[in-house]
Amino acid sequence: METIINTKGMHCASCEKLVSEELLDNGAKEATADFKTGKVIIKHDKSLSLNKIKEIIKEEGYEVKE
């Protein structure tokens, strides 16, 4: 499955890398963050829930736009 999350607070390539790597470390098959658009695209199976994805992004210091 693919999930797209809109975020606020990423401002550089390091932010993208931080979010992507943390999602990959927590079970995402692919994770791409784009600080310019604020979008994070995650390919994952059901073992990585939407709530967990949002929690990971928030733990890294970024806001999840609902």
pLDDT tens, residue by residue, 12-57: 999 999 999 999 999 999 999 999 999 999 999 999 999 999 999 9
Where does 2-65 sit in CATH, by number?
Answer: 3.30.70.100
pLDDT over 90 at 66, yes or no: no
Enter the pTM of the model: 0.94
DSSP 20-55: HHHHHHTT-SEEEEETTTTEEEEE--TTS-HHHHHH
